[in-house]
Amino acid sequence: MIQFSKVNKWYGQYHALVDIDETIAQGEVVVVCGPSGSGKSTLIRTINRLEAIESGTIAIDGEDIHRPGADLNRLRSRIGFVFQQFNLFPHLTVLQNCTLAPIEVGGARPAQAHEKAMALLDRVGLAHKAHAWPAELSGGQQQRVAIARALAMEPPVMLFDEPTSALDPEMVGEVLLVMQGLVRDGMTLVVVTHEMGFARDVAHRVLFMDQGRILERAEPHDFFEHPQHPRAQQFLADIRTPFARPA
Amino acid sequence: MPGFDLQLLLHGQYHDWLLAGLLVSLKLAALTIACALPLAVVIALLRLSPWRPLQWLGATYVEVIRNVPLIAHLLFWYFGAPELLPDAVKERLYAGSYEFVAAAIALTLYATAFMAENIRSGIRAIPAVQLEAARALGLGFLLAMRRVVLPQALRITVPPLLSQVIILWNDTSIATVIGVGEMMYQAARVESAAFHSVEAFAFVTAAYLAGSLALTAVAAWIHRRWPVRTL
Amino acid sequence: MIDLVQTYWVYFLIGQYPQGPLGGVAATVLLAALALLLAMPVGLLLGLARVSSVAALRRPVTVVAYVIRGIPLLLMVFWIYFYLPTVTGHKTDQFSTMLIALVVFDGVYLGEIVRAGIQGVPKGQYEAARALGLGHGRAMRRVILPQALRSMLPSLVNQFVSTIKATSLGYIIGLTEASFIATQVNSQVFVHPTAVYLLLSLMYFILCFGLSRVALAIERRQARRDLPRPARSPGSPTASAASNA
């Protein structure tokens, strides 16, 4: 489904992604975690080429998305991306946000797009807000609309870049619930998150990153109970007991 | 169009006229900046002061001056204002080179209004919490302004102020309307005296461009040397 | 002052029309409105060029913008007034001269406003549009520009105010706009220059102040409707990029 081969990325002198090799299979739910600055957001943003890479290939169903001649827009329409800052279009209604891509990129007829969008909004629990403006919605509601918007093109894979980090704590749950629903429906998910509960309960695999490298790959239970890499152990210790530091 | 005669610019009467015009333009601009800047600070402080009447005074000044074109200001100060003075004074004014003074007054008042707004915006751009934080540390109001707020405000204010100076440099050209012998006046004079005057206008264009680009370069250098650092 | 107004108000408002060309305040407003209207497509193209990633598009436009903003409007008016006839073979009347000069000037300043407007739209919006599969052109057209144009509205009105003031330069080449008419009235009346020029200033003030209040009202209404945005920097679209002629 998604294949990283010897991917490297530099920001000037800074080596942001170091020799990344990874495969994400169809139907997998992969959580990417790690300390800040580890490169996890960069990693996920290279999948749909919001960030460029300097060497290596990233293949989406066999097609290298970073190849110069690649049909970027078509490939992107097959990848759903949910941003930390939601990035809903404030000048369009909730419904229009969800029908924009199907009509403009997918060539769907407005009535069709309208129907599908309403179904998606219903799925995320916001059908009653279809004609509201994004500014009228809470953060959690906006993010759910963002998920519906990304689903509108029926992509086989969904990427989430810290989807709940910008939300007030009481709204995190409603978004995670929607994401769980997607997992139940068999969607392939790649999620960068700090929500360890989600990783533990829902993910099939956890990737731990630090300083641009994937240091550990394990099933959630193994990762949380028996981390192998010393940096991973440190990270989990820091998360669990932030105040109890060795003297 | 007849050929470009560079000699026209380098020697002779027209050369003298244009050069004299350039000097008048420079003098007018320099005088205006020198007077407008302190006045602008005063107006800005009026608007920022905690007293309503003072705020109103500053705001009225800015709005009244800004919304009237420079030509109207010039016409008023040259033709309109002296009328209010006793005849003897009026005659003495017009006998001397009152047009330069009138232009200086008009330009100064005009530029002050815009510069005051630039300064006010610059100070307002610093979040109030900066002053709060400084006061919370025990600094007095003036010290807090001097060491915390104004240094930051200055970096933000300087680029728009320099833009305003460029606009002022270009605006000195409008003083020609009341007969000030600056560059545009001289160029028009050459135009009506000589057969062709591309050279005169080219000279004037080059002079204005040189001034504006030099100021732009200064602004860029200042921005590089003392960048605005925000959180 | 009252008799001045009573005697000359029609002349001041519309000049010698219909016995002559439209003049006075009407000419001022007409010239400014026409110039701004014609300058808008110019401004849009220039603004888009200024944010383009194609250097061959961006660099020449940037140079032109700096040059035009580096010379007085009056100088441009003189160039056009004295030399356009030799290029086109026709004598250009004062109105057309001012119109051309204003369209060029406004075009450049509108270009700056458009540029600031586009750059003021949060970067995440463009990313979200591209991530959905929209190409660059469509992303600009359906997501970025609608938001940019909306935020530019106050600046546009302010530019209209600047243009109205700039029309006063027509006086110098003999265009019968408001300032010119005022001076004519003054030479007829002769003994009340203070009153004449105060009235002229008052007219401009009412017009320009009124419009700038409208701009402020638009800005306030937009601030209420928009999504929470990062704090406005001094380089925001509503910080006037206009000239002060």
Determine contact: C146 vs chain A, CB below 8 A.
yes
Both tokens assigned to A101: 């891509």
Mean of pLDDT over chain A? 91
- What confidence score (pLDDT) does residue A243 get? 65
pLDDT in tens, B15-27: 888 899 999 999 9
- What confidence score (pLDDT) does residue A245 get? 57
Residue B101's CB is within 10 A of a number of other CB atoms, namely: 15
d(CA B191, CA B158) in angstroms, rounded, equals 38
pTM, two decimal places? 0.79
B160-172 mean pLDDT: 94
Categorize the per-residue pLDDT at C225 as very low, low, confident or very high, splitting at 50, 70 and 90: low
pLDDT in tens, A168-180: 999 999 999 999 9
Categorize the per-residue pLDDT at C18 as very low, low, confident or very high, splitting at 50, 70 and 90: confident
d(CA C160, CA A154) in angstroms, rounded, equals 47
CB contact under 8 A, C124 and A85: yes
Categorize the per-residue pLDDT at C167 as very low, low, confident or very high, splitting at 50, 70 and 90: very high
Query: Model ipTM?
Result: 0.86
- What confidence score (pLDDT) does residue A195 get? 87
Would you put residue A6 in left (φ > 0), alpha (ψ -120 to 50) or beta? left
End-to-end distance of chain A based on CA atoms, in angstroms?
A: 47
CB contact under 8 A, B125 and C234: yes
C67-92 mean pLDDT: 89
CB contact under 8 A, A81 and C122: no
Cβ under 8 Å to B: C residues 196-225: 196-198, 200-201, 204-205, 207-209, 212
- What confidence score (pLDDT) does residue C240 get? 39
Query: Is the confidence at residue A70, as pLDDT, over 90?
Result: no
Determine contact: C149 vs chain A, CB below 8 A.
no
Q: Which residue has the higher pLDDT, B172 or C93?
A: B172
Q: Which residue has the higher pLDDT, B197 or A93?
A: A93
A189-208 mean pLDDT: 91
Determine contact: A79 vs chain C, CB below 8 A.
yes
- What confidence score (pLDDT) does residue A218 get? 92
pLDDT > 90 fraction of chain C, expressed in percent and rounded: 49
Query: Is the confidence at residue B173, as pLDDT, over 70?
Result: yes
CB contact under 8 A, A73 and C135: yes
Query: Is the confidence at residue C101, as pLDDT, over 60?
Result: yes
Question: For A205, phi and psi rounded to 5 degrees?
Answer: -145, 150
Query: Is the confidence at residue C228, as pLDDT, over 80?
Result: no
Q: Given A50, A77, A85, which is nearest C133 (Cβ)?
A: A77
Query: Is the confidence at residue C51, as pLDDT, over 80?
Result: yes
Query: Is the confidence at residue C8, as pLDDT, over 90?
Result: no
CB contact under 8 A, C127 and A50: yes
- What confidence score (pLDDT) does residue A240 get? 78
- What confidence score (pLDDT) does residue C232 get? 34
- What confidence score (pLDDT) does residue B200 get? 86
pLDDT in tens, B70-119: 999 999 999 888 888 888 888 877 777 889 999 999 999 999 999 999 99
Mean of pLDDT over chain B? 87
**Helix%, strand%, coil% for chain B, nearest 5:** 85, 0, 15
- Contact predicate C82/B188, CB 8 Å: no
Query: Is the confidence at residue A43, as pLDDT, over 80?
Result: yes
Chains B and A touch (3+ CB pairs under 8 A): no
Angle at C118 between CA B67 and CA C150, to 5 degrees: 60
Annotate chain A with DSSP letters as a single string: -EEEEEEEEEETTEEEEEEEEEEE-TT-EEEEE-STTSSHHHHHHHHTTSS--SEEEEEETTEETTSTT--HHHHHHTEEEE-TT----TTS-HHHHHHHHHHHTT---HHHHHHHHHHHHHHTT-GGGTTS-GGGS-HHHHHHHHHHHHHTT--SEEEEESTTTTS-HHHHHHHHHHHHHHHHTT-EEEEE-S-HHHHHHH-SEEEEEETTEEEEEE-HHHHHHS--SHHHHHHHHHHH-SS----
Q: Given C127, C142, C147, which is nearest A104 (Cβ)?
A: C142
Closest among B198, B186, B43, B229 to B119, alpha carbons compared: B43
Which residues partner with A60 through β-bridges? A2, A63
Closest-approach residue (CA) in chain C for A148: C132
- What confidence score (pLDDT) does residue B56 get? 94
pLDDT > 70 fraction of chain C, expressed in percent and rounded: 91
Categorize the per-residue pLDDT at B51 as very low, low, confident or very high, splitting at 50, 70 and 90: confident
CA-CA-CA-CA torsion sign (A107, A108, A114, A120)? negative
pLDDT in tens, C127-156: 999 999 999 999 999 999 999 988 888 889
Categorize the per-residue pLDDT at A246 as very low, low, confident or very high, splitting at 50, 70 and 90: low
For the ranges A226-230, C115-119, C186-190, C225-229, the lowest mean pLDDT is seen at C225-229
Closest among C58, C242, C89, C77 to C163, alpha carbons compared: C242
Which chain C residues touch A99 with a CB distance below 8 Å?
A: none
What's the length of chain C? 245
- What confidence score (pLDDT) does residue C230 get? 37
Locus of tokens 């998150």: A193
- What confidence score (pLDDT) does residue C239 get? 36
Query: Is the confidence at residue C238, as pLDDT, over 70?
Result: no
- Contact predicate A49/A59, CB 8 Å: no
Both tokens assigned to A158: 């969904």
Chains A and C touch (3+ CB pairs under 8 A): yes
Residue C73's CB is within 10 A of a number of other CB atoms, namely: 23
- Exposure string over A144-160, b if 16+ CB within 10 A, otherwise e: bbbbbbbbbbebebbbb
Categorize the per-residue pLDDT at B4 as very low, low, confident or very high, splitting at 50, 70 and 90: low
Angle at A130 between CA A129 and CA A135, to 5 degrees: 65
Q: Given C182, C197, C234, which is nearest B160 (Cβ)?
A: C234
- What confidence score (pLDDT) does residue A144 get? 95
Angle at B155 between CA B149 and CA B159, to 5 degrees: 140
- What confidence score (pLDDT) does residue B156 get? 86
A111-116 mean pLDDT: 94
- What confidence score (pLDDT) does residue B192 get? 85
- What confidence score (pLDDT) does residue A238 get? 84
Q: Which residues contact C87 (CB under 8 A, 6 or more apart)?
A: none
Query: Is the confidence at residue C233, as pLDDT, over 60?
Result: no
B28-50 mean pLDDT: 92
Locus of tokens 């751009």: B125
Q: Which residue has the higher pLDDT, C98 or C5?
A: C98
Query: Is the confidence at residue C16, as pLDDT, over 80?
Result: no
Amino acid at site B101 = V
Which chain A residues touch C226 with a CB distance below 8 Å?
A: 90, 135
Closest among A49, A79, A61, A62 to A190, alpha carbons compared: A79
Query: Is the confidence at residue C226, as pLDDT, over 80?
Result: no
d(CA A216, CA A232) in angstroms, rounded, equals 7
Mean of pLDDT over chain C? 85
Cβ under 8 Å to C: A residues 202-231: none
